[in-house]
Each structure stands twice: as C-alpha cells, then as structure tokens.
Structure 1
Amino acid sequence: MEWIVLLSIGLAAGTIGSLIGLGGGVIIVPALLFFSTYTGYLQTISPQVAVGTSLVIMIFTGLSSTLAYLKHKMVDYKSGLIFFLGSGPGGIVGAWINQTLDMRTFNIFFGAFMIFVSLLLLVNHKLKPMPLKAENGIHRTFIDNEGRTWEYGFQPVIAIFIAFIVGLSSGLFGIGGGSLMVPAMLLLFLFPPHVAVATSMFMIFLSSIVSSTTHISLGHINWQYAFLLIPGAWFGAKLGAFINMKLASKTVVHILRLILILVGFRLIYQGFTG
C-alpha cells in the first residue's frame, strides 16, 4: 500500500505542478505530512524531511516538464537563467532558515499572500505594465498557439530580487517557488501564460538542485520515499505539460488562480492548527 500511495502522490504532484508551473511541492509536502501523521500508510516524518524530500522530487518534475516544453519552444531559458541567479542563493538561505523558523506564523502570512496574488490575477488585465527602460531592460516577443503576439520584458535587477524571494520560499517550504514566480511573470513582466509556466519549471529544476543539495547536507531526505515518488512525478510532469499546451491561455490563468487560493487557505489552516 505504501508504494501505491507514494506513486499516486508523485503522479498528482507532477501533473498539477507542470500544468501551472508550481513544481508540485504544494501537493507533496502536505500529502507526506498527512499520510505520515493521520494514517498508517506512511512512517511518521518531520516537516523538514517532507520539505527536503519534496525538493529532490522537484528536480525530476522540473527536468521532465522542461524537456516537454522545450520541444514546443515555450521555455525562455535565457530569462530562466537570469531568474536562477536569484533563486539559487535564495534556495540555500531558505533551506537553512527551515531548521529554526517558527513555521506557524510564517504559514499564516504566506497563505494570506497566496490569496492576495490570486485576487491580483482577477484584475491583471486592468493593470498597467511595469515601465521598462530601453537601455537596460530585457525585451522578448512570443507568438502563442492561438496566433496572438505577446510583448514582454523585465529589469534584470528587479527580476533577480523577486527570484531570490521565490528561491527562499522554495527552500523553506519545498513547494518549488512557482506559486510566486508565475504570478510575478504574468503581472509584472507580462509573460504569456504558457511561457511563464514553462520557464518557471525550468527555473524550478535549477533552483531545486541547489535547495535539495543543502537539505541533503542537513540530513533532511527520506530516500526510500523519494525513489518511490520520482516515477509518478516524472510521468505526471509530462502529462501536465501536454495538458497545458492544449489549453487556452486564459484557462491556464484560471487554474493557477484556483490553486493559489487552495494553497493559501491550506497554509493558513496549517498555521493555526500546526
């Protein structure tokens, strides 16, 4: 029964994470804690081990979905590498903070922020784009599968700072960081939804390597669970990428908003009851 539960968790996490660019940690971490604490299906593990194990899985989820998106030329890997300059160091800091932080208070505020971001996505079409200076801003053009041309871009310094916060949350919660990065790419940098998701998964792949390495050094990995989660997460990531490319851009945003609300309320509940 244990291996069935873990394969199922991995499949669900890979599919949902790849579909909307979250990475899947929002499924893995609470699922591991739930099944290990409230059922007899899994051995009891600490939140630190759940986070560390989740980040190992994020490496394979990120790689699998990135390879799928690369085939359709949806990954802006140049922007992803710039974001990684912030998310990599942030992941290391988050992993170390994970050992000592009062998670209850942080969960409440982080959950409230997730809900706030989801509300921003309701009015994102009314927001004015962040002004870009031609001399130092990075600009991109993308034509989606609906024939629509997207103009987007960002200031590298601002992007690296945001990515650092994303990496910190990834190392801290084991959630991959896409729940912050994708809305930032949509709202601040005007990324096309499909490109935002695909590029987020590429960044998650890179930052998860750094974050998980730190957690490995701290002994926060349950390798038995990791090896059983990986197959489901790998194939789930490919399935999520396939579904994403079949959906309209607005549908991807709607799914992202719903997931953010669910994640937000879950974190708030965890903060009050943990």
Structure 2
Amino acid sequence: MYPLIMSWDVPALLVMFMLGLIASTFGAIVGLGGGVVIVPALLLLGPSMLGKNIDTSLAVGVSLGALVFTSFTSTLTFVKEGKVDLRSALFFSFSSGPLSVLGASLTSLFDPVIFRRAFGYFMLFMVILILFRKRIKPYKGNWRNVRKYTDAAGVEQEYGYNVLPALIIGGAVGLIAGLLGIGGGILLIPTMLLLFRFPPHMATATSMAVIFVSALFGSGMHLIRGEWDWLLVLSLAPGALLGGWIGARISRRISSVLLIRIMCGTLLLFAVRMILT
C-alpha cells in the first residue's frame, strides 16, 4: 500500500475538487469518463499540486476510483432521460469488467517514461478520432442483434451488433480502462457510432454505463494491489459526482462545437507535454 500522498490541506483539496469537476464534466459530456485529464494531471502536476511525485500505477488507480463516481451520477441521469441502452451496456460489460481487472494488474509492469509517451500518443489518437468522427463513414453491413431507438423528434433509428465483435470491443475497452485509467470510452464510442451505428446521444450515455463497470472492477484490482490513495480518491470524488451530473445534463446540447474544441485543445496540450516530458 502506498503511503498517503495527500494531507487535508484546504488549497490542495480545492485543486483536486476542481480537477475532478472539470475532468468529469468534460468526460460525461462526450462519454469518455474524465480519466484522460485526471491521469496526466496527477502525473505532471503532482509535485506542484501536492508536493510529491505520483507514479503511473497510483495515478491510474486513483483515476479509476474517481471514474466510479463520475460514471455513477452520469449514468443515473442518462437513465432517467431514457438514453442508456442497458441491455447493450450489460452485454459489453460481460467482457469489459473482467478485462479491466487484467489491465489493472499490468499497469505496474510498464516503464514510467514509456508509459507517459504511449499515453501521450494515445491521447493524440483520441483527439484525431473526436475531431474527424463526423467525416468517417459508418459501417453499412447488417447485424444479428438489431435494436431500435426513437429520438425526441420521433425519428426511428436502427443499430445493432454481433456477439463476437461486441465482446471483443468490450474486452478491449476494459483492458484500456484498467491499464490506463481512462475509462475506455474513446474506443467504445467511435466503435458504437461507426461500426454498430448507435445514435450519438445513446452511444455517449451507454458508454458511461459500461465505464462504470470497468472502473469498478479496475479500481478494485488497484485497491487490492495497494496502488491507491484514499485521500486522493475522496478529494476527487465530490467534483467527480457533480461533474458527472453536470456533464450528463449538458450533453443534451452536445452540438456545441466550441465545447468539443476546448476539450480537444486541452487533451492536445496534455498529450504534447506527456510526450515531451
């Protein structure tokens, strides 16, 4: 078990609250969870924010702990709005939950420098996917498990998936979540939109439900392995709870191009710093 990194210092608590709030709000809006901000922030800003270095395993474990709170409140909000496909979320979670445990057990095996650079390049890839998601043509094939969704305007849309591809994607999402502490939504949402043809709002909402399971399993493994700091998690939790709810509420206006660009700009800055540090 790691010694406690944080003390109950008011300025540090306020910084962690704002970090949890901002990361979770952005994460819930687009279905990513918020770990893409929390992990690099802890790695890069730990010495200045907390006066101590935070290694990768601890950062990932703490991030997943915060994601549990973010995904919980956002999923509840999305469920009340009827945007979550619970059946599909449960199906993806069959493989995402167990694989997140495997990913969590592998985090400490990576060299910190390699981890930071790989994480930075992965974030660059995420930015590209988010920016160009509307220019990529969706898959035109037919799926065995077909679902239907009627939006607020009364327009009915069909989407679906086959068992094996869904389980593979769910497993990859869980592995990424446990390994990197970022939730896995960056892989799940593009897949839902481009391959399984999910409606955008449903993809975001269902992704947060899957992230909740992955974060719960992954954070549990990091806790068992001692890659955990209760004060860090609890200081992020209030902001994560509030941010998850706010992000879910804002997502009904997800057409805001400016908000997406701000998020991508933030991710880009963190990615470049991670690669060059």
Band of TM-score, shorter chain? 0.7 to 0.9
- Partner residue in 1 for 2:243: 236
AA partner of residue 40 (structure 2): P
- Deviation at 1:268? 5.3
Q: Is 1:140 paired with 2:147?
A: yes
- Partner residue in 2 for 1:224: 231
Structure 1 residues 173-188: aligned runs within 5 Å: 173-188=180-195
SS in 2 for 1:99: helix
For the structure 1 residues 36 and 227, does the alpha-carbon distance in structure 2 shift closer, same or farther, using more than 3 Å as the test?
A: same
SS in 1 for 2:160: strand
**Count of aligned residue pairs for this structure pair:** 264
2:21, 2:240 within 8 Å by CA — same for their partners in 1? yes
- Deviation at 1:46? 1.2
Q: Deviations over 1:161-207 (max 9, x none)?
A: 01211111111111111111111111111111111111001000111
- Partner residue in 2 for 1:95: 104
Distance 1:219 1:72 in 2: 38
1:26, 1:263 within 8 Å by CA — same for their partners in 2? yes
Distance 2:117 2:37 in 1: 21
- Deviation at 1:41? 4.0
For the structure 1 residues 67 and 93, does the alpha-carbon distance in structure 2 shift closer, same or farther, using more than 3 Å as the test?
A: same
Distance 2:161 2:271 in 1: 30
AA partner of residue 37 (structure 2): I
Q: Is 1:118 paired with 2:130?
A: yes
1:22, 1:176 within 8 Å by CA — same for their partners in 2? yes
- Partner residue in 2 for 1:72: 81
- Deviation at 1:242? 0.8
SS in 2 for 1:152: strand
Distance 2:272 2:235 in 1: 29
AA partner of residue 189 (structure 2): V
Identity %: 37
- Deviation at 1:44? 2.6
For the structure 1 residues 150 and 256, does the alpha-carbon distance in structure 2 shift closer, same or farther, using more than 3 Å as the test?
A: farther
Distance 1:128 1:7 in 2: 38
Q: TM-score if structure 1 supplies the norm length?
A: 0.88
- Partner residue in 2 for 1:106: 118
- Partner residue in 2 for 1:263: 267
For the structure 1 residues 15 and 105, does the alpha-carbon distance in structure 2 shift closer, same or farther, using more than 3 Å as the test?
A: closer
Distance 2:27 2:261 in 1: 13
- Partner residue in 1 for 2:5: none
Structure 1 residues 152-163: aligned runs within 5 Å: 152-163=159-170
- Partner residue in 2 for 1:169: 176
SS in 2 for 1:151: strand
AA partner of residue 144 (structure 1): D
- Partner residue in 1 for 2:70: 61
- Deviation at 1:140? 1.1
- Deviation at 1:146? 3.6
For the structure 1 residues 210 and 239, does the alpha-carbon distance in structure 2 shift closer, same or farther, using more than 3 Å as the test?
A: same
For the structure 1 residues 40 and 272, does the alpha-carbon distance in structure 2 shift closer, same or farther, using more than 3 Å as the test?
A: closer
- Deviation at 1:90? 2.0
Distance 2:186 2:155 in 1: 25
Distance 1:98 1:148 in 2: 44
SS in 2 for 1:98: helix
Q: Deviations over 1:75-96 (max 9, x none)?
A: 1010001111221122122112
For the structure 1 residues 40 and 31, does the alpha-carbon distance in structure 2 shift closer, same or farther, using more than 3 Å as the test?
A: closer
Q: Deviations over 1:3-22 (max 9, x none)?
A: 10011111112211111110
Q: Is 1:204 paired with 2:214?
A: no
- Partner residue in 2 for 1:5: 15
SS in 1 for 2:270: helix
Specify every segment of 5 or more residues in structure 1 that has no aligned partner in the other structure, as ranges.
none
Distance 1:24 1:257 in 2: 16
